[in-house]
Amino acid sequence: MFLEELGKIEEEAGRELREADSQDKLSSWHTRYLGRKGRLTSILKSIGALSLENRKEVGSKANQVKERLSLSFSQRKDELSCGPSLREDVDITLPGRPFTYGSLHPTTKVLREICTIFSGLGFGVVEGPEIEEDYYNFEALNMPEDHPARDMWATLWMENGLLLRTHTSPMQIRIMERASPPIRVIIPGRCYRYEATDATHESMFYQVEGLAVDKGITLAHLKGTLTEFSHLLFGEERKIRFRCDYFPFVEPGMEMSIECLSCQGKGCRTCRGSGWLEILGAGMVHPRVLERVNIDPEVYSGFAFGMGVERIPMLKYRIDDIRHFYADDLRFLAQFR
C-alpha cells in the first residue's frame, strides 16, 4: 500500500512541478509534498508503525523519492530564477539579434595613425595644457604684445591673461625650456579659435605639432621628414606641394598641401576649386625662439610644423565638410566602424 502511494506521489509531484511557472506555485508545491505536513512527510512519519521488514523497504523507497523530488525542486527553482523556460515553439536555430558596436571617432583614428608614423621616424609623443599663458602662446614665439601677427589667430581670451591655446606651438617653448638638444617630439592636442566656420574651418579642432632641434638640421631634413610622412599616410603616388608662407616663429616658413582626393586635383568645394588642400604649416625654428630658451642658434638649428588633424581624414575618406566631425550625426560616424 505504501509503495503504491509513494509511486503515485512521485508521479503527481513530478507533473505538478513541471507545470509550476512561478516562485509562488513552486513554494506551494514544496509545502504540499515536502513540507512538515506534506504528503511524503506524512508517509515517512507513518513508517514506525510497520513491521521491521516492511519498514526497511518502505523507508528506503520513501527516502529515494524524497531525494529525487528535492533535486527536481532545486533544478526547477534555478530555471525559474534564470527567466522563462525555452518554449517548444522557439526555433533555436535562428540567428540571434546583432549587437550594435561603437567605434573610434575618425579624428581619433587618424590621430593615432599620425602618432604611430612619427614614432616610427624617431619622434616622441607628449601633450600639453589647453589653457595657456600669453607668454607661451605668443610672446615666446616671437610675437610680442601688439605684434600684428597676433591677428592671424582669433584668440579666445580668459581672465588673468589666460587663453584657450590657438595652436600647439606653445609646447615648443615648454619642451625646449626643460630639455636639451637633440629634441624630436610631436604634440597632439585640441586648439580653439574664435572664427566663422565653413567647409574647411572649425572653432575647435585638433593639431599635431612637430619639433626637431639638433646640430646641422636643415630645410632639406624638414622636407624629407614631411614627404616621408605623407607617403606613409597617403601612399607614394600622392602629389605634394610646398610653398612659401609666413609664421613669426619660423624662418623661412612654408606650407605643405596634398592633392585633393575628392576631385583628384580638378577643383571642388572641399579644396575651394584649387585642387589642393593645405594640411600643415612648417619652417625652420626662428633663431630668436631658440635664444629665448637659451639654445645657441649658432650651434643648433631645428624645424617645426603644425598640421590640422581633421583635414587628414577629409583627404583620406573624401569628406567635403569639416563640420561633419562634430555634428554628432550617427549616420556619419557609423561609416567608420
Judge whether 286 lies within some domain.
yes
Decide which of 66, 82, 98 is a domain's last residue. Answer: 82
Average of per-residue pLDDT across 293-302: 95
49-74 confidence digits (pLDDT tens): 767 777 777 777 777 877 888 888 78
Same-domain status, 71 and 120 = no
Do the bridges between strand 183-192 and strand 162-164 make them parallel or antiparallel, or are there none, so unpaired?
unpaired
Are residues 111 and 70 located together in one domain of the fold?
no
Give the β-pairing of 183-192 and 124-125.
parallel
Four-CA torsion 242, 247, 252, 258, nearest 10 degrees: -10
Q: Which residues contact 156 (CB under 8 A, 6 or more apart)?
A: 163, 164, 166, 192, 193, 194
Same domain, 67 and 122: no
193 found inside a domain = yes
- Please give the pLDDT value at position 170: 94
Question: Same structural domain for residues 231 and 263?
Answer: yes
Structural domain includes residue 312: yes
Residues 312 and 271 in one domain: yes
- Measured in degrees and rounded to the nearest 5, phi and psi for residue 274 equal -85, -25
- Is residue 142 over pLDDT 80? yes
Q: Are residues 69 and 178 in the same domain?
A: no
- Answer with the one of 47, 82, 117 that is the final residue of a domain: 82
Residue 93 lies in a domain: no
CATH number of the domain to which 156 belongs: 3.30.930.10
pLDDT in tens, 106-123: 899 999 999 999 999 999
Per-residue CA distances from 237 to 19, 95, 227, 240 (Å): 72, 44, 11, 9
> Does the pTM exceed 0.85?
no
Assess if residue 96 is contained within a domain. no
Same domain as 325, residue 188 = yes
Q: Note whether residue 101 is domain-resident.
A: no
DSSP 8-state secondary structure symbol assigned to residue 269: T
Q: How far apart are CA 213 and CA 174, in angstroms?
A: 14
pLDDT value at 84 more than 70: no
Domain match, 16 and 148 both = no
- 186 and 255, same structural domain? yes
Range of the domain at 30: 2-82
Q: How confident is the model at residue 83 (pLDDT cuts 50, 70, 90)?
A: low
- How many structural domains is the chain composed of? 2
Catalytic site positions: 153, 167, 193, 207, 250, 304
